[in-house]
Structures are given as structure tokens and as C-alpha cells.
Amino acid sequence: MSRTMNTPPATPATRALDRLGIAYEALPYAHDPDVTSYGAEAASALGLDPASVYKTLVVKLDTGRFAMACVPVSTMADLKAVAAACGAKKAVLAAEADVRRLTGYVLGGVSPLGTRSRLDVVIDAQAHEHPRVCVSGGRRGFDIRLSPDDLVRACGARVADIARADEH
């Protein structure tokens, strides 16, 4: 069966939620290939408050481990806070090749759900200010909306204050 914009794609992220029996809303949208601010594009295309749409970043910790940080697209990740939440001192954004290798996803489609490798996940505490939040569904042009508690449970995530104001 071919999938259309009305039929949400089956991705590792949706399959992970289905396996756990977690309810979610599939939100496909038309991705503009010229856009590189993927989270802001999702919020705009879906008509959602950017504070409720979360981007997922992969970081490399000074311990050599990798982790994921989920923060509102209206903010930036405080890498020192992410490191501390993971029991490390420093964190840097992971190289694109590491992101693809560890998650199985491309930049702009990285979901904290259904990743190829099991990574620690830290979700910014602001998520609990919203009844539902969005994260990537595992590809560009596809988000998933679910309750913050279900997201935390599905990812086995920690919740911490890891976001700071975007300086742009």
C-alpha cells in the first residue's frame, strides 16, 4: 500500500510506540528541502506553539558515551546541563555521521524513539508545562504528538532543566 500525506509513515519511532501501546497523534507535513531549521519548520507548518515542539539533539559526552537531549525548538540545549544530567562534565554536539550511525535517522528526522542504539535521553522539564508535546516521528516532515509522561516513559528518559534561551 502506498502512503500518502494522510497516511502516517511507519517508522522505528511509531513502531516503538505501537509496541508499548502508547497513544500518539501522527502529524505529517510538507517538508521544504531548502529548510535546515527543522524544528521551527515543523512548528510553523503544523501551526503549533514552538515551546511544545521538541528537537532532538545527539551529544557526545566527555565520558565517551553518547546521549540525546530533547529541548523546545524555541530554545537551545545547555550542553553543560545535559552533561550534568548524564553524569558527565562536558558535552558537544555529535558529528552527523555518529548521529546517523547511532540513531538510524537523518538530521531533521532524529527521534528519541526507536533509535538503532540505546542512548540515554534527557528531556527538558518544560515539557510538563504542556498537555502534549511533539517530537520527530523519525523522518523530515513527520512529527508525533503525545503526552510528556508517555514520551518520558517510552524513552526511559530523565527530565532536567537543560534548555536555555535561543540567542538568535
Domains in the chain, start-ordered, CATH in brackets? Answer: 22-165 (3.90.960.10)
Q: Which residues pair with 67 in a beta bridge?
A: 59, 120
- Residue 4: per-residue pLDDT: 40
**Segment among 2-6, 31-35, 122-126 with least mean pLDDT:** 2-6
Q: Within 13 Å, how many C-alpha atoms sit on residue 69's CB side?
A: 31
Task: Band the pLDDT of 167: cuts 50, 70, 90.
Answer: low
Average pLDDT over residues 66-93: 96
- Residue 2: per-residue pLDDT: 33
Rounded to the nearest 10°, the torsion over CA 12, 16, 19, 23 is -110
Task: Band the pLDDT of 37: cuts 50, 70, 90.
Answer: confident
- Residue 168: per-residue pLDDT: 56
